[in-house]
Homo-oligomer: A and B are copies of this chain.
């Protein structure tokens, strides 16, 4: 906890992932590079919240700046305790439970949501099945169960296909295969034969040659694979191939894995398999 540095605490009785995501996008609106960000998950007892309070007050004293707390805690008692801190409190649950309670005409359950657990059989199985499918069908390496795929990502090596497939599997339970377009596929701008029966399932990822170069340099510095000529050639060929076969595609250069996954679903009209 640096001096003269404000701290934003993202506090949750669960994983903290949601409140952290809210925090990041809120703070990004203020270009506050000097805000230290701390995620504190599983704050689910008065003892734990007590320690958190000490950290908040310590940061306030050290920096001389009011800390920010963005929190989502279900239990009234723990939430009330946290609200006695000197931080600016942005409490996601508090803000929204009251209006929802009056809409539904019932009180909130005040229990931490565990509905996404492994115990939730079918949802879990579907995701895990999809993760194994993505791994088995990565890079056309081990198997090519294109018949069973919900989507088949194509693009040059290192255009982001693998992480996007895994994200589609983990988050949405989708069976995503991928096939790298390599130099031997580039003699013509027609689709590789093996992909032709699945044209309606294909989705392309492309990338700016400059960015591709830098990703490949990190992997194999000064190789032909990472050269400007090679990257420019491959990207140009693959884009021509995708356009010629009318395969929809996205440019991955400016997009995160989450954005790639959700944008391609919305562009290709692919529905999630799990909520």
* Chain A contacts to B: CB under 8 angstroms: 14-18, 21-22, 24-32, 37, 41-42, 66, 68, 70, 72, 74, 88, 90, 92-93, 95-97, 99-101, 103-104, 106, 108-111, 113-119, 121, 124-125, 127-128, 131-132, 135, 138, 160, 162-163, 166-167, 170-171, 207, 211, 214-215, 218, 252-259, 261-263, 266, 275
Closest to A18 in B: B21
B residues less than 8 Å from A108 (CB atoms): 29-30
Known: A21-B21, A90-B95, A118-B255. A29 touches B211 (CB 8 A): no
Residue of B26, B88, B109, B252 near A29 (CB, 8 A) is B109
From the candidates B31, B106, B162, name the one contacting A131 in the complex (CB within 8 A): B162
- CB pair A275–B37 under 8 Å, yes or no, is yes
* Contact residues in B for A117 (Cβ distance below 8 Å): 253-256, 259
* Those 4 A-B pairs whose CB atoms lie nearest each other, nearest first: A29-B108, A116-B256, A28-B113, A18-B21
Residue of B nearest to A40 (CB): B266
Q: A15-B258, A90-B99, A117-B255 are in contact. List 6 more A-B contacts (CB 8 A).
A: A24-B115, A30-B106, A114-B254, A127-B257, A132-B162, A166-B166
Q: Does A125 lie within 8 Å of B163, measured CB to CB?
A: no
Residues A17 and B258 in contact, CB atoms below 8 Å apart = yes
- Are the C-beta atoms of A25 and B14 separated by less than 8 Å? yes
Determine which of B25, B127, B257 lies in contact with A72 in the assembled complex, contact meaning CB atoms within 8 Å.
B25
Q: Which residues of B contact A99 (CB under 8 A)?
A: 88, 90
Given contacts A21-B17, A163-B127, contact A97 B26 (CB under 8 A): yes
Nearest B residue (CB) for A117: B254
Residues of B within 8 A of A42 (CB): 262-263, 266
What are 21 A-B pairs at a CB distance below 8 A?
Answer: A15-B259, A17-B171, A18-B21, A18-B25, A22-B72, A22-B92, A24-B115, A24-B275, A26-B100, A29-B111, A30-B100, A30-B104, A117-B255, A118-B253, A118-B255, A118-B256, A119-B253, A127-B257, A135-B138, A163-B170, A166-B170
Inter-chain CA distance A224–B195, complex, in Å, is 38
CB pair A28–B115 under 8 Å, yes or no, is yes
A135 contacts which of B162, B207, B266 (Cβ < 8 Å)?
Answer: B162
Bound together, the chains give a CA A87 to CA B218 distance in angstroms of: 50
B103 and A68 contacting across the interface, CB-CB below 8 Å: yes
A125 vs B166: C-alpha distance in the bound complex, in angstroms? 16
Most B-side CB within 10 Å, residue of A26, A97, A110:
A26
